[in-house]
Chain A
């Protein structure tokens, strides 16, 4: 079984070895290559490549004053394990802009606004050379905290026996991914949790939204924010009105890709997970490229 699973590469090479850098930023250890696999029968199969900075990209990040650079910062959508690393949103932007810009993708699954602003703040020198910074955000997920907290436990998992088994016995990894062990988990939870009717307490939605807004203000205060070249990238349909109003009021720039998604006649998300498919990434890239083109044209004038 192990041979067959390896032969047909049914297992997923993700998750990878992680590390926490000198600024407490959680990244992926450089130089790792492999394939991200989704579904029992490799319904989604994409190669990834971790560059020397610790992110999935075909590029090394070498900003300079004499080039136009774009930074995309975000979670798994920007990390893009579900697509070939040479066909990422960043690469698509470069192609649309005739390779006249370089796009750096700082994406890692689970990154939120605290991580994103902390990265910009920590690598100040690098980001000062970058011309456009796009922060991909989801209001519901990204504003839950006001400062970063590196997850040492997660990073140290690589030293555990369980991690090694998962990493090297591919048939177990595959079986786990397709849900074969869910039954064991179910039995364990049945044995450990007596009360099956437990319901999470209801949260006041309005209160939560206000808290997220406060968190955002606090994050900006802590890490700073360059309103000139930093632009939020989001789906306006899924973004809270309070936040939109705040952006308008305080002069935060944003780009909405939701409109082009709405107009699309074909699905923009993958079937097997919720990430953008090729069309979705093309639409997002087009929105960003158009913005950059527009800004560069204005600068030219």
Chain B
């Protein structure tokens, strides 16, 4: 079941009504319903893989207890490794097994040996596996680092792992935030629910109007990159930048909004990365739950930036490569990660990696300064260029795309593959960026207008835009589901 399906919009009100009217008595009854709803939500895709979620839940629940009850560091570490090996093992098998086999065969064939592959398996990638395994691991890590006490309530823990709004594509929650809320009874708040509905509407807008509407053009340009001039290729990757942002941040908004309907606050996952002034700031604003995960559980344990510059650079390279690999079993993602490491290191060495941590562009003014505009354009350019690797089917395609950009450096008007007016899309993107700029200080507050009338008009326009750009022929699944 996906958020932008009718099935979900039938499922959600039913669960909502049961939650607040039938199962409202205690945290336990609320969690029973959420757990059933979450397993049903996931089972609609493939019920067989519910066993993986259950196993992951079971292992980390048990490991958490073991880590906590042992004082001896080596024993605690041993139990932590049980969690890591189990969860990474799941990922390794379902997500990376074929990649490793194929890469091994390719490497051997470079050395002159020809191996006929009979080892690759026909494995389905379970939806959301990269998200819930990381979430359960974070629980064990937090107990290991003594930031958290394990819960004895298995029901609550299972609800924490499988909480349907964020189960398949995040935000990757920490137990300190989500589990603590799940352990307590939630009370209905009208303001929270309205705020949730606003986020759901805004998320749907980003998915339907920005991401899905741009998808046919991006697909066309990336599939036929060898026939297009540089101007079209630049357009294609720029549109992809907006597509992937609309898709993933739209999903996150719907997830956060849905959780609010159940009285739960999830962490913010996107903080307007388009308005980043350098690559470091971009990573403080893009997929925040993953980047902080890597920072807390990989970068800092490796020494972070408290070690020598050289070691810090090594740590940066490691987290970006791992982060790239997390996205998918393809060399394109590893290159993407490496590219970001290369873009991040100069910022780090100049000591500018945290200077924008607590500010937004145009902090004390309506408009950004010319310097900020330049910084944003440069950052957007770097990030967008890296998306060539992210979007290409293979590393050969990625380099083919780049080489075509250089060799066919010319301009040609691009026409929509379905014959639609391109001006509609350009106008839409400009308005979208302007509106996001307006709300840049608070990612959780779309439609923040004082006047009820203005809010009403805004809702109407958003729904109309969704209708105007809705295309029932487009594959409506979320990009990050594949990760």
Contact = CB atoms under 8 A, between A and B. Distances in A.
Place the interface of chain A in its size category: 10 to 19
A1 interface: yes
A182 interface: yes
A19 B421 CA distance: 38
Given A182-B472, A183-B6, A187-B6, A175 B467 contact: yes
A247 interface: no
Contact of B467 (A178, A187, A272): A178
Interface string B438-479: 000000000000000000000010011001111110000000
A178 B464 contact: no
B6 A174 contact: no
Contact of A179 (B10, B464, B470): B470
A41 B420 contact: yes
A180 interface: yes
B464 A1 contact: yes
A69 to B, nearest CB: 36
B9 to A, nearest CB: 9
A146 to B, nearest CB: 37
A187 B470 CA distance: 19
Contact of A40 (B419, B460, B463, B468): B468
A210 interface: no
A174 B467 CA distance: 9
Contacts of B6: 183-184, 186-187
A178 B472 contact: yes
Contacts of A271: 418-419
B7 interface: yes
Contacts of B460: 1, 4
A180 B467 contact: yes
A187 B419 contact: no
A150 to B, nearest CB: 33
A187 B469 CA distance: 23
A129 to B, nearest CB: 42
A40 B464 contact: no
B153 interface: no
Nearest to B459: A1
A175 B467 CA distance: 7
B10 to A, nearest CB: 8
Interface string A166-208: 0000000011001110111011000000000000000000000
Given A4-B460, A182-B472, A271-B418, A40 B7 contact: no
Contact of A43 (B420, B464, B467, B469): B420
Contacts of A41: 420-421, 424, 468-469
A185 to B, nearest CB: 10
A167 to B, nearest CB: 19
Contacts of A182: 472
Nearest to B472: A179
A37 to B, nearest CB: 12
B471 A183 contact: no
A147 B421 CA distance: 45
Interface in A1-56: 1, 4-5, 10, 40-41, 43
Contacts of B468: 10, 40-41
Contact of B419 (A4, A5, A43, A178): A43
A299 B5 CA distance: 65
B470 A40 contact: yes
A1 B7 contact: no
Interface string B225-254: 000000000000000000000000000000
B7 A187 contact: yes
Given A41-B424, A271-B418, A271-B419, A1 B463 contact: yes
Interface in B393-425: 418-421, 424
Contact of B471 (A40, A175, A184): A40
B5 A178 contact: no
Contacts of A186: 6
Contacts of B421: 41
B274 to A, nearest CB: 25
Nearest to A174: B467
A198 B313 CA distance: 60
Contact of A180 (B7, B424, B469, B470): B470
A197 B467 CA distance: 32
A1 B421 CA distance: 23
Contacts of A187: 6-7, 10
Interface string A245-284: 0000000000000000000000000011000000000000
Nearest to A179: B472
Contacts of A184: 6
Contacts of B418: 271
Contacts of B463: 1
A178 B420 contact: no
B472 A4 contact: no
A187 B1 CA distance: 13
A172 to B, nearest CB: 12
Nearest to A272: B419
B44 to A, nearest CB: 12
A11 B6 CA distance: 22
Contacts of B470: 40, 178-180
A41 B427 CA distance: 14
Nearest to A187: B6
A175 to B, nearest CB: 7
Contacts of B471: 40
A280 to B, nearest CB: 15
Contacts of B420: 41, 43
A4 B471 CA distance: 19
Contact of A4 (B5, B10, B464, B469): B464
18 contacts: A4-B460, A10-B467, A40-B468, A41-B420, A41-B424, A41-B468, A41-B469, A174-B467, A175-B467, A178-B470, A178-B472, A180-B467, A183-B6, A183-B7, A184-B6, A186-B6, A187-B7, A272-B419
9 residue pairs, one from A and one from B, having the closest CB atoms:
A183-B6, A179-B472, A271-B419, A40-B468, A41-B468, A4-B464, A178-B470, A182-B472, A1-B460
Given A1-B460, A187-B7, A271-B418, 15 more contacts: A4-B460, A10-B467, A10-B468, A40-B469, A40-B470, A41-B468, A174-B467, A175-B467, A178-B472, A179-B470, A183-B5, A183-B7, A184-B6, A186-B6, A187-B6
Interface of A: 1, 4-5, 10, 40-41, 43, 174-175, 178-180, 182-184, 186-187, 271-272
